[in-house]
Chains A and B, each alone.
Chain A
């Protein structure tokens, strides 16, 4: 299985801050990388697919980049409603695998 290493595991930032999360794959996955947002008690939500493509309806402050083994997820200006845990997930090889998650909180 492809291992996905995500960092940091948690972060605390102020409203309006730029937030960056990294995800590293144990082998080349091209751009087969998704980012999901999970708020407690709610259904997880796909935000970004194919490393950099914004899912319909997702605010433009969310973005993703990278290819191969190294990927980045960015919130350009953190908002209160962005408090959640974010997961990267590779879809290049079966079984699909997820990173450990990054819990984002407001300072």
Chain B
């Protein structure tokens, strides 16, 4: 059974770049699609984007200019990079397996953007 675990900084400053890693066990990231989803405080879930080992990726148009998802097959991890952070990026960030339908999720990690 696949398990996913997010890791990264809990606090980042405005204008900086966020880098979050998802470590996958029980599945190879060479298969399937891998996604990031977030939930700002008091708001619903927002899909960020997905990527695959084949190089296929797709991002939410609202974030596309600032986001990139990359895969590291040697560590069986995938990474979210989000640039030019503002307070609006404060959220719980989840990694998931799936393209448009998240099948397995991580527990999430809270990221706060504040000076």
Contacts and interface: CB of A to CB of B under 8 A. Distances in A.
Interface in B16-75: 44-47, 58, 60-62
> By DSSP majority rule, is chain A's interface helix, strand, loop, or mixed?
loop
Interface stretch (A13-21, A34-42, A74-82): A34-42
> By DSSP majority rule, is chain B's interface helix, strand, loop, or mixed?
loop
Interface string A81-105: 0000001010110111111110000
A34 B101 contact: yes
Interface residues of A, number: 23
A46 B103 contact: yes
B60 A99 contact: no
Contacts of A41: 107
Contact of B47 (A92, A97, A101): A97
Interface of B: 4, 44-47, 58, 60-62, 94, 100-108
Interface of A: 32, 34, 36, 41-46, 49, 55, 87, 89, 91-92, 94-101
What 6 pairs between A and B have smallest CB-CB spacing? A91-B100, A98-B45, A43-B105, A91-B101, A95-B60, A44-B105
